Amino acid sequence: MVHHSLSSRQYLILGLVAVCAPLGDSCLSRGMTAVPSISLAHPHELLGSLIAAVFTPWIAAGIALLIGFFASYLTALSWADLTFVLPATAFGNVIVVLLSRFWLHETVSLERWAGIVLITLGVGFVAQGPALTERPAPRAEELRSEEPVATEVRPR
């Protein structure tokens, strides 16, 4: 496996993957709790209520962040392995807990601190290794398949 070092731009995209998903979920959660209760009992009002909800600031921000997450996630998957990107996405959970502790001043149990340490260690392990499994380029394979034919033709 050849070491693929990431550029600062690629680290930025991984950071966006980790940050956008939890922030987007938080915005959606905050927005939906502020919206009046939507009931399935009146289907004709359901669509109107959902469309109206989309245009509230928190939900619009949540949707924008989740679109940002998906775009960053797809970009990351185009140059890194799935088994490299997934632990990075899990780091978002750590960000949420840290925000809830230092911004919202919530109490974080010892179990959760242990979880933060384990996830951080796991992400650190993966980040030190190669981002992408090395595979032979298609052109190299073609050349290799052509090689035996070339060696069979010997000058007389």
Partner 1 sequence: MTIQATSLAMTPNPWVAAVMIAAIVLTSTTGEVLTAAAMKSIGDLDVIRARSGLPGAIRAVVTCPLFFAGVFFLAMAFFSLLFALNHLNLSLVAPASASLMLVTNTIAGKIFLKENVDRRRWAAAGLVCVGVYLLAH
- Rounded Cα gap, residues 6 and 34, in angstroms: 41
Q: What are phi and psi of 11, to 5 degrees?
A: -65, -35
Query: Does residue 134 touch partner 1 according to CB under 8 A?
Result: yes
Query: Does residue 1 touch partner 1 according to CB under 8 A?
Result: yes
Judge contact between 31 and 59, C-beta under 8 A.
Answer: yes
Judge contact between 132 and 81, C-beta under 8 A.
Answer: yes
User: Could you tell me the smallest distance in angstroms from the CB atom of residue 34 to partner 1?
Assistant: 20
Alpha carbon distance, N-terminus to C-terminus of the chain: 42
Query: Does residue 50 touch partner 1 according to CB under 8 A?
Result: no
Number of residues that bind partner 1 (CB under 8 A): 39
**Which span (28-36, 60-68, 75-83, 146-154) binds partner 1, by CB under 8 A?**
75-83
Structure-token match 């032979």, residue found: 136
Residues within the interface to partner 1 (CB under 8 A): 1, 9-10, 74-75, 77-79, 81-87, 90, 93-94, 97, 111-112, 114-123, 125-126, 128-130, 133-135
